[in-house]
Structure 1
Amino acid sequence: MNKVTVLGSLNVDTTFRIKDFPQAGETVQVKSKSNAAGGKGANQAVAAAREGAQTSFIGQIGNDGAGQFMLDSLKADKIDSTFVSENESVGTGTANIMLDDNGQNCILVYGGANQTLTAEEVQKAEPTIKNSDFVVAQFETPQDAAIAAFKIAKQNGVTTVLNPAPAPSNGIKPELLKLTDIIVPNELESASITGIKITDQVSMTATAKKFADLGVANLIITIGDKGAFYSTPDKAEMLPAYKVKAVDTTAAGDTFIGAFVSQVAPDFSNIVSAVKFAQHASSLTVQRLGAQPSIPTLDEVLKVEKESAS
């Protein structure tokens, strides 16, 4: 069983189902509205926990009902929330999600307490980080917090996983990249960071070289319904996606990352099987509504893997 610590965001998601995305100045009718626990960090932690990893979380909430709701959601999945701190002056993060009839989404995120998480708060979690196999971070919390976590991880032989989402407008701090063992962007985030548009195998290979030059030796690019490209110093390959009818893609990428770290070895020796497992997990997620409610369990993923192999 992998031990995974996730540093990241805690958001209460409000999803609005609509026929089509509005144009500028247009008012559209909402078909339905629902609330669920979310945030990229929390989603990834839930995915890791449901796929069998012993999971801990580092983050921050506000002193409000939304914060308690998020704590309860972590505990429901047996995620250790010891190092989720509370900000007395800033509210818990929220996300408003527009979901169209094709299963595509647009998301408006209010960072709230996620954005006030400090390196000092992260350092309090050193005992948990040291005892982990993997530490995962994204960009809905400050980069300085991720740097603090990754420094502790690297000093203790813990593998670091960076999901550069959402892609930061002011770029990624070079120090963070040098502390990263594997980076997992989607194709748009990858292009934003490297300047290389993902179009074919040549562009993927060039992207892997660019990240290696920046200090990250291992890469996975998720490319929606086309699949995922992975690259290590030893091998690289495009793995096609499993074809399903998507109804909501909200937590697909987060499910992929959480499922991946629940299965992969710290030296990435089983990266192919771990990526395929993560693809099966995310293929289940996109067939369901909501963020965390859509994330499958280990038994569900294993069942789909068995069916796919037969």
Structure 2
Amino acid sequence: MTNKVVVLGSLNVDTTLHIVQMPKPGETISASSKTNSAGGKGANQAVAAVRSGAETSFIGQVGDDDLGSFMVDALSGNKIDTKEIDKISEEGTGSAVILLDKNGQNCIMVYGGANQAIKPSKIDKAEELIASADILIAQFETPQDVTLHAFEIAKEHGVTTILNPAPATKIIDGLLAVTDLIVPNETESATLTDIPVTDVDSMDKNATRFAEMGIDNLIITVGDRGAYYHTKDDSGFVKAFKVKAVDTTAAGDTFIGAFSSQINKDLSNIEQALIYAQKASSITVQRAGALPSIPTSKEIDAEYK
């Protein structure tokens, strides 16, 4: 079975500056090189989903500019349905500047632009597309009230909703009630629950806190250690595959997109989908850039026979 995945999210053109080490406050440093690529959490997740075999569509917004055309072409070139990506003249296309050090760690600054200008009325136009999906994914690089409206429509049509609360910020009332699965990383989880993530016991406590907030199904990604999962029926920890990281940009997005391509609507195969997602993200971190680093299902199968 092929999942039909719809991503509501951000479209950013990424500029990556390659540096030896992160600058200190007030310090001026030189970059050894600069690269530009298509990115944004939404775009990354959509590309990861489609490259792992999901029938993927996108709901989003870009500026009426060259960068906007570049982003739409990047997605359509990956066989993603872009009919629900609008161009607006009021805001420019989203962009991000990424500082990438020699150890593969990054620091990212994002300009939301057109991503942050999406209105709930945009979702009404896309209701038929949402209703046709198996999985709907959203992040926090677009307005939460838009995500709430999209998730409400999704639930009316039996669509499974996945929320990636990144960058972490206070979650608006009602959103978790229409979210089936929340997927923060360890920092985002701690920000939302006020409980530091250090070990499995602390992850259990995070899960308890999220349940108190109104959501039982949780995945916490913890970088090169792996991923923790908790549902009403089960919990556990899936270790990451050990590789040498070159660039961690888009690793978490690859994880979520690849996961969405494999997960059953009732989350019944969550551990198997997590293992697949870990394989995908382990390949991503061994490559440079955002979209260019995301593997196909064939590459994942070849790497992990």
Q: Same fold (TM over 0.5)?
A: yes
Residues 143-175 of structure 1: CA distance to partner in whole angstroms, max 9, x if unpaired? 01101110110001000000000012xx00131
> What is the aligned partner in structure 2 of residue 164 from structure 1?
165
Identity %: 59
- Does the CA contact (< 8 Å) of 1:10 and 1:70 recur in 2? yes
> What is the aligned partner in structure 2 of residue 99 from structure 1?
100
> What is the aligned partner in structure 1 of residue 271 from structure 2?
272
How many Å separate the matches in 2 of 1:181 and 1:162?
Answer: 8
Counting only pairs closer than 5 Å after superposition, residues 228-307 of structure 1 correspond to structure 2 as: 228-306=227-305
Residues 71-109 of structure 1: CA distance to partner in whole angstroms, max 9, x if unpaired? 000101110111111111110000000000000000110
> What is the aligned partner in structure 2 of residue 7 from structure 1?
8
> What is the aligned partner in structure 2 of residue 53 from structure 1?
54
> What is the aligned partner in structure 2 of residue 198 from structure 1?
197
> What is the aligned partner in structure 2 of residue 185 from structure 1?
184
Q: Secondary structure at the match of 1:248?
A: coil
- Give 5+ residue unaligned stretches, structure 1: none
How many Å separate the matches in 2 of 1:241 and 1:52?
Answer: 22
AA partner of residue 232 (structure 2):
P
- Does the CA contact (< 8 Å) of 1:12 and 1:95 recur in 2? yes
How many Å separate the matches in 2 of 1:86 and 1:209?
Answer: 42
> What is the aligned partner in structure 2 of residue 20 from structure 1?
21
Q: Secondary structure at the match of 2:175?
A: helix
Which has the larger displacement, 44-53 or 207-216? 207-216
Q: Secondary structure at the match of 1:136?
A: strand
Which has the larger displacement, 208-217 or 133-142? 208-217
AA partner of residue 180 (structure 2):
D
How many Å separate the matches in 2 of 1:271 and 1:187?
Answer: 19
- Does the CA contact (< 8 Å) of 1:55 and 1:80 recur in 2? yes
Residue 36 of structure 2 is aligned to residue 74 of structure 1: no
Cα distance, 1:140 vs structure 2: 0.4
Q: Secondary structure at the match of 1:228?
A: strand
AA partner of residue 159 (structure 1):
T
> What is the aligned partner in structure 2 of residue 176 from structure 1?
175
How many Å separate the matches in 2 of 1:5 and 1:106?
Answer: 28
- Does the CA contact (< 8 Å) of 1:194 and 1:207 recur in 2? yes
> What is the aligned partner in structure 2 of residue 208 from structure 1?
207
Counting only pairs closer than 5 Å after superposition, residues 28-177 of structure 1 correspond to structure 2 as: 28-168=29-169, 171-177=170-176
AA partner of residue 144 (structure 1):
D
AA partner of residue 44 (structure 1):
Q
| Count of aligned pairs between the two proteins | 304
AA partner of residue 178 (structure 2):
L
Q: Secondary structure at the match of 1:26?
A: coil
AA partner of residue 146 (structure 1):
T
AA partner of residue 110 (structure 1):
Y
How many Å separate the matches in 2 of 1:30 and 1:202?
Answer: 41
Q: Secondary structure at the match of 1:275?
A: helix
- Compute the TM-score of the two structures, normalised by the length of structure 2: 0.99
Cα distance, 1:304 vs structure 2: 2.2
How many Å separate the matches in 1 of 2:121 and 2:299?
Answer: 39
Cα distance, 1:2 vs structure 2: 0.1
AA partner of residue 254 (structure 2):
T
AA partner of residue 251 (structure 1):
A
How many Å separate the matches in 2 of 1:298 and 1:201?
Answer: 30
- Which 4+ residue blocks in structure 1 deviate beyond 6 angstroms? none
How many Å separate the matches in 2 of 1:80 and 1:175?
Answer: 29
How many Å separate the matches in 1 of 2:51 and 2:100?
Answer: 25
Residues 193-227 of structure 1: CA distance to partner in whole angstroms, max 9, x if unpaired? 01111112211111111111212121000001111
- Does the CA contact (< 8 Å) of 1:229 and 1:239 recur in 2? yes
- Compute the TM-score of the two structures, normalised by the length of structure 1: 0.97
- Give 5+ residue unaligned stretches, structure 2: none
